[in-house]
Chains A and B, each alone.
Chain A
Amino acid sequence: MSPSSCLLEEELAAIRPVLANRLKTTGVDLPLLPVVAHQVLLLSGDPNVDSSKLSALIQQDQALAGQILRIANSPAYAPRSPIVSLQQAIAWLGFNMLAGLAFSVSVQSGVFKTAGYEKEVRGLWRHALATGLYGKEIARRIRHNVENAFLCGLLHLIGKPAILHLTSQTPPLAGRLHSWPVLEKLFDEFHLQAGTALGEVWKLPDSVKEAIRCFPDHLYDQATSPAKGAIITCLADHLASHALGTSDVEEETLRNLQVVRDLNFYPEDMTALLELKESIQHHVECFLS
């Protein structure tokens, strides 16, 4: 074992029991969902909602309102004329997309704003957004719920920033900047548990909680929701990694994944999804630039 990996193991050995212990008492320690994000989530499930309600909600958070206007004006959405009001932005982006974005922006700029890891956290959100967007396209192909697939993708890795939050808040870990490789190891070990706990605390829809808990390759067959959020998110997660260059998986390997077969995707289906790569990259950059 090299000296650096010895150090990594030592650091992990110190953090692991503290984190595991914190996760056992999750309800108390996990961050609450920001008020705006929670209300956006409620609104998105309300059939009586109208654009003025969503607009009023977003206006409560000036930073969020600014971000929404910037995204609506971005080249990805190519507005015919400059978007100058939230009402106009809502009309242009569509309610569900906007609600998802408002939720995402509100969460990432609120509870999970962890000093020292801004770049890495941003990477996590890029991946989450790309997964949500791919999830929509997969759901469309198999005629499953598109809105649910987006939300599942957007939140499937919510356990990772939650772990970051916990390590930065928990004594004796607080105040120390852990190396990203150490955190990645912790993510691998704990993010499903942390995400599941966070889903409960945030009272996310059951289908989304199930996707967070069961989206990995070896777990999606345990999911029972008819919405199939877990299996959709599993493939969307792979495609997002491929599109954003965060995994070195070859296209051929991607085409031969078990999840592709379990979704009954033929080579033409995968070709169509892979062809969306640039469009998804473009949308993600516009959202998060």
Chain B
Amino acid sequence: MTSPHMFDLLVIGSGPAGQKAAIQGAKAGKRVGLIEQTREVGGACVYQGTIPSKTLRESALQMVRFLRATDVFEFRMRDDVRISSLMTRLDRVVRAHGEFMKEQLTRNGIQHLHGRAKFLSDREIDIQHLDGTHTNVSASLIVIATGSRPRVPDHVPIDHEHILDSDSILSLVYLPKSLTVLGGGVIASEYASIFALLGVQVIMVDSADRPLKFLDQDLTDQFCQAFEESGGQYRGLQKIRQVQWDGFSKVTTTLDNGQILESEKMLVALGRVANIEYLNVPAAGLTPTSRGLISVNEHCQTVMPHIYAVGDVIGPPSLASCSMEQGRRAVCHALGLSPGSAPEHIPMGIYSIPEMSSVGLSEQEAIAKHGGAMVGRARFHEIARGQISGMTNGLLKMVADAQGKQLLGVHIVGEGATELIHIGQMGLLHRIQIDSFVENIFNFPTLAETYRVAALDIAKQRRG
């Protein structure tokens, strides 16, 4: 008889990666236990990350559209409705998503083990419960999917009241007059642009010369332009000397060049760290990297062949979409099941305002890899649908080989970019030629037409 504490598969963490790993195991007929330290399943993705920031973004956009329509429809919104409405909607969406995920796990017969996991050996785990009691569980296969949390830099005194991180920023009950955002990455850019749109005076400070440096520069230039039009400022190539709350009304930020910035609140978004502090990974035979991550091979397998690690705990790309796939593939690999062909082109979505998305090679990467590149551009204002919907601030950039024949990458900035990118992704997967976009018919009027316009731009360069 099997002990109630013995499982075929134990997954630590119920975020996107852990959840998909657990479901894959259950679908393969294995007895699966999912250890989660919080009461709810879903991880930071649901409660502090992907879902809340995207919901806040969507609500902010809807609210701003609504406010802009007041001239036409002659109504007035109460000023104090703003942030509380945003947060209430956010809470509703998060709860609904959490409930949905809980049901999904139950439906698949996965046992939810509430508590904090700590390795006792490479096959045994101690679960500490809220009341301080412990349960030992074991499995022949273990997946670590404990995710990440905001990094707390030594020199920034985060108090979650005036100086906030990307978790506590969601606890605001009113819009601050001004906000300094430390960082120039995805989280910093998303929140900075959302708050700027809501009328907060936002200053982003980062050491890089432009935000989101890993993206195509055409995209970030457009992002910066839109951010500045909303009243935001980006201060690049800056180092922080000191941050402090002045004790009364403002956070002061002293830059290395002596300049002092003042704001009512601050958001610190200077990266994330893996959640491994309670895991006691050395007991499982694992050694964290110098950056506090868990090393894995291409199958997400650690140096211990029966222990896998997936999601943020192994480092970039730290995308919920990738983490889910890592979880599924890791368990397939462990159980000897075919995971299908490996994803070749993973799209990246940045839910800033405007939205940005990218798949395949950038112009610079194409030149480096193929010795040259031809680029076609389509601006949303040139497209009928862009004009109709008022989405005129957008750009689709198509990257082809030097001959302008083969599609190599697509980069989009503008509303709907994260949806629109999937046409490009499918094109890349099926090795579509640039001319296919010219010769085929898209619905009219749609933003998908930008593909055709960009392809025509390339075709024109090819001819002339």
Contacts and interface: CB of A to CB of B under 8 A. Distances in A.
Interface of A: 45, 47-51, 90-96, 136, 139-140, 143-148, 206-207, 226-227, 255-256, 260-262, 264-267
Contacts of B91: 226
Contacts of B39: 262, 264
Q: Is the interface of B mostly helix, strand, loop or mixed?
A: loop
Given A261-B130, A264-B130, A146 B160 contact: yes
Residue picked from A49, A92, A264, most chain B C-beta under 10 Å: A264
B402 interface: no
Contacts, number: 76
Contact of A140 (B159, B173, B247, B248): B159
B38 interface: yes
B131 A143 contact: no
Contact of A265 (B130, B165, B171, B245): B130
A170 B130 CA distance: 48
A206 B84 CA distance: 10
B161 interface: yes
A32 B80 CA distance: 23
Contacts of B160: 139-140, 143, 146
Contact of B171 (A90, A139, A261, A266): A139
A81 B116 CA distance: 47
Contact size range, B: 35 or more
Interface in B53-92: 80, 84, 87-88, 90-91
Nearest to A206: B84
A267 B132 contact: yes
Contacts of B248: 51, 90-91, 94-95
A67 B131 CA distance: 43
Given A146-B171, A264-B130, 7 more contacts: A91-B246, A95-B248, A143-B160, A144-B171, A145-B172, A148-B173, A265-B130
28 contacts: A45-B174, A50-B249, A51-B249, A92-B247, A94-B247, A139-B160, A140-B159, A143-B168, A143-B170, A145-B171, A145-B172, A146-B160, A147-B173, A206-B84, A226-B87, A226-B88, A226-B90, A226-B91, A260-B130, A261-B130, A261-B131, A264-B37, A264-B130, A265-B130, A266-B37, A266-B130, A266-B132, A267-B128
A134 B87 CA distance: 24
Contacts of A265: 130
A248 B170 CA distance: 37
A48 B130 contact: no
Contacts of A49: 249
Nearest to B84: A206
Contacts of A140: 159-161
A266 B173 contact: no
A48 B165 CA distance: 23
B415 interface: no
A192 B174 CA distance: 27
Interface in B236-273: 245-249, 264
A136 B160 CA distance: 10
Contacts of B130: 260-261, 264-266
B174 A255 contact: no
B202 to A, nearest CB: 14
Residue picked from A90, A96, A145, most chain B C-beta under 10 Å: A145
B35 to A, nearest CB: 14
B333 interface: no
A91 B247 contact: yes
B264 to A, nearest CB: 7
Contact of B128 (A91, A92, A266): A266
Q: Which 8 A-B pairs have the closest CB atoms?
A: A226-B91, A146-B161, A47-B177, A145-B171, A143-B168, A143-B167, A267-B132, A91-B248
A220 to B, nearest CB: 14
Interface of B: 37-39, 48, 80, 84, 87-88, 90-91, 116, 128, 130-132, 159-161, 165, 167-168, 170-177, 245-249, 264
Contacts of B247: 91-94
A4 B132 CA distance: 44
A48 B175 CA distance: 11
B116 A266 contact: yes
Contacts of A136: 161
A205 B247 CA distance: 24
B46 to A, nearest CB: 14
Nearest to A92: B247
A233 to B, nearest CB: 15
Contacts of B246: 91
Contact of A264 (B38, B170, B171, B174): B38
Contacts of A267: 128, 132
Contacts of B168: 143
A47 B132 contact: no
A227 B173 CA distance: 8
Contacts of A144: 171
A47 B174 contact: yes
A220 B311 CA distance: 35
Residue picked from B37, B39, B168, B171, most chain A C-beta under 10 Å: B171
A143 B132 contact: no
A91 B131 CA distance: 42
A48 B176 CA distance: 9
Nearest to B39: A264
Residue picked from A144, A255, A260, most chain B C-beta under 10 Å: A144
A48 B177 contact: yes
Contacts of A148: 173
Given A47-B177, A139-B171, A264-B39, A147 B249 contact: no
A100 to B, nearest CB: 13
Contacts of B37: 264, 266
A25 to B, nearest CB: 29
Contacts of B175: 47
Contacts of B116: 266
Contacts of B167: 143
Residue picked from B38, B174, B245, B264, most chain A C-beta under 10 Å: B174
A145 B173 CA distance: 7
Nearest to A141: B160
A148 B87 CA distance: 14
Given A95-B249, A256-B131, A147 B48 contact: no
Contacts of A266: 37, 116, 128, 130, 132
A45 B175 CA distance: 10
